[in-house]
Amino acid sequence: MRETWFHYPQCTTQQAEELMAEYQRRGVKVERNLNSDYLTWTVSARLPEGNKPPRINRRWQHRAWE
């Protein structure tokens, strides 16, 4: 299965540490980078991609409209 980087921008230090701990507990490769404002972090996790496209939400679609 193909893996791509998923980014969490603008995280506080506490949020970044919690995200990193959770992903590391699951065995996911994770990185943390300090943003240019020197206050917030961007956390990046390498997550697997699904083979199928996302499902269409048909909650508000009626069969007569199709």
CB 29 within 8 A of CB 45: yes
Residue 29 lies in a domain: yes
- Per-residue pLDDT tens over the stretch 9-62: 999 999 999 999 999 999 999 999 999 999 999 999 999 988 888 788 777 777
pLDDT of 66: 59
Residue range(s) defining the domain that contains residue 33: 3-49
| Count of structural domains within the chain | 1
Residue 27 lies in a domain: yes
Give the residue among 18, 63, 8 at the shortest CA–CA distance from 41.
8
Q: Sort 40 into a burial class: Cβ within 10 Å, 0-12 / 13-18 / 19+.
A: middle
pLDDT beyond 70 at 65: no
pLDDT of 31: 97
CB 40 within 8 A of CB 7: no
pLDDT of 34: 97
CA dist 34 and 49 (Å) reads 26
Residue 40 lies in a domain: yes
